[in-house]
Structure formats: C-alpha cells, structure tokens
Amino acid sequence: MISGTITSVTKFSLISLLSLLFISCNSSTVGPVVEVPPVRNDTVSSPGIENVYPVPSESQLAWQDAELVMFIHYGMNTFTGKDIGEGNESPALFAPTKVDVKQWVSVAKAAGFKYLILTAKHHDGFCLWPSQFTEHSVKNSPYKGGNGDIVKEFADECAAQGMKFGYYLSMWDRNSPVYGTPAYNDYYRAQTRELCTNYGEVHEIWLDGYLGRNPLIDHPMFDWLSFAELSKALQPKSLMAIMGPDIRWVGNEDGLGSETDWSFTYSHPAHHGVSNVDVWWPTECDVSIRPAWFYHEDQDNQVKSAAYLAELYLKSGEEQPAFAECSANYRWCFS
C-alpha cells in the first residue's frame, strides 16, 4: 500500500506540472515560432577575384589577347654587318636611300601581329630619332639630309594602320661616356622622356636587362624603378617589359615558355617598389627569325621557316604571347 500511495502521488504531480506548463505557454505574450525562409540579398556580392589574386590591367589583358608581337631590328648594324656595334661608328655609315615603314607595318598586320616594336637605340647607342642628348644619331647621318626621324615615321604609320607602337631602348650604350655611372640614369630618363612625349601613344617599352661585358657594371647600379615610374607618368597605358613591372622575360631567346609559368607571381622591389606581393606579371617569349637580330645577306638561307615558327608559337605556352624578332634589310624593306 505504501508503494501504491507513492505511485498515485507521483502521477498526480506529473499531471499537475503538465497542466501548469500548458497554461503558462498559452498565456505567454510570445507567439509561436514561425520559420521564415532565408531571403537572397543580391545587393551583396562575393569578394571580387582582385581581392584574392591579382588580375591584369586593361593594357596587360589587351596585350595577352593579342598573342603576337613583332620586334623590328633596324639601325647602324644593318649597314655594318654586325649584331652588336662598337659605338664608335660614324653616323655617315647609316645611309638608307629610303625607309619603307609602310611596308613593314603592312606585312606585320597581314601576318596577324598587333604590336610592333622598333629598335630606337641598340647597344651601339645610335639613335633612330634626333635625340637632343647625343650626337650619335640619325640627325648626323645622310638620311634625309640629317632631318630624318625613323621613330616618328614608324610610330605614325602604326597609328595610321591601327597597329600598336612600341620601342626598344637599349640600356647598354657603348657610345655614351657616362654609361656605368650614376649620371647614366639621368641620361636614360632623358631619352625615355623624348620617346614618351614626341611619338603619340606608346603601348610597349622593351627595357633590356643586358648590361654588356664589363663585370663591374651590375643591375643595382641602375634606377630601374624610376624608368618605369617616368614612363607610366608620361604614357599611363604603356607596358614596360623585361626590366619593368608589367611583363617578364621568359628566360631564353628560343621562343619557348613553360606550361606552368603562370601570369601572377611575386613582385620585385626594383620593378614594383615592394617585395613579395602577388602581382600580375606575365612572361613574353622571344625568338629571332634569323641566327641573330639584324639583317645580314649571307644569312638569308638560315631564316626560320613558317612551319617552324608556327609550331614554336603553339609551344610557347598558354599565357605567354609570342615575340618574333624580325629585321629590315639595308634596302629599306622586309625581304
């Protein structure tokens, strides 16, 4: 009986507690929980890829989409039979009777190229424009009686045919007496300013890292970042290649890139002003169609075939534009 009494009391207690709980819940001012489906907010987007990885600038994207760049070698070496001049050549040796830049640009355009780069100055220091900062230039040559400016002729023709003009300005200058000294930085900036202000829009600038044969002259001696900053100030849409912040050298002159050579990599303080930051810095594959760079008649039978160049283009890598180095002959045209 004692056990039965306890069981009855227990049952009564449970019923009473459940009744109180029911009354309490129903008399609450808080209504029943209603599940509201989540609403998609299209005004808030995911972080852009530029917040995760670097992306190309408009100029870099256009350059990579173009896929082909032509580099035209023409200068003092065309007339001396050399590929690397001495720097002491007489300007009188540069004596073309005609320079058919229209043919150069037309041939490049017909072949599918969109960017054209001219050797405004090669290692011998001879300038194809009448630079104010040296006497070793076209202004002291017989060409057009000293009044010629091949860089202007070429740049104007590129603009006329809808092609993108660029120039090569050699760092190594065998004619300059200040090469290898701090004063050369000023000299190089002065010539950069000339080329970036007098020839319309510049799309690509080739700043070569080759410094010559003197082991005492090394890369830290040059103010690379200032060259890039000046060109960007004067030509905001231009791309500086090789020793600049926009395009890297692929590492060879065979026209071959790597399948895993991605376009984004780490920054370099000499070119970007900061270290180890992710940047968009694609490579450029370059190759000469001849044994070297300039035209020499005795090498006409050594020009790379179209089939070979086409195969090379397909092997150059998915992200690296191919860069063909061509040369005009002393008769003023492509042959």
Domain ranges of the chain: 54-327
Sign of CA dihedral 95, 97, 102, 105: negative
Give the DSSP letter of residue 247.
Answer: B
Q: What is the pLDDT of residues 39-54, one digit of tens each?
A: 545 555 555 656 678 9
Angle between helices 183-197 and 224-234 (to 10 degrees): 20
Identify the band that residue 256 occupies on the pLDDT scale cut at 50, 70 and 90: confident
Q: What is the pLDDT of residues 3-12, one digit of tens each?
A: 444 444 444 4
pTM of this structure: 0.83
Q: Report the DSSP beta bridge partners of residue 112.
A: none
Identify the band that residue 132 occupies on the pLDDT scale cut at 50, 70 and 90: very high
d(CA 89, CA 78): 12
Identify the band that residue 329 occupies on the pLDDT scale cut at 50, 70 and 90: low
Is 54-327 in CATH node 3.20.20.80?
Answer: yes
d(CA 34, CA 274): 55
User: 325: which residues sit within 8 A by CB, 6+ positions away?
Assistant: 71, 73, 286, 287, 288, 289, 290, 293
What percent of the chain has pLDDT above 90?
Answer: 68
- Among 84-93, 222-231, 294-303, which is the least confidently predicted range? 294-303
Question: Given this model, what pLDDT does residue 49 score?
Answer: 58
Q: What is the pLDDT of residues 185-196, one digit of tens each?
A: 999 999 999 999
Amino acid at 268: H
- Tell me the average pLDDT of the chain: 85
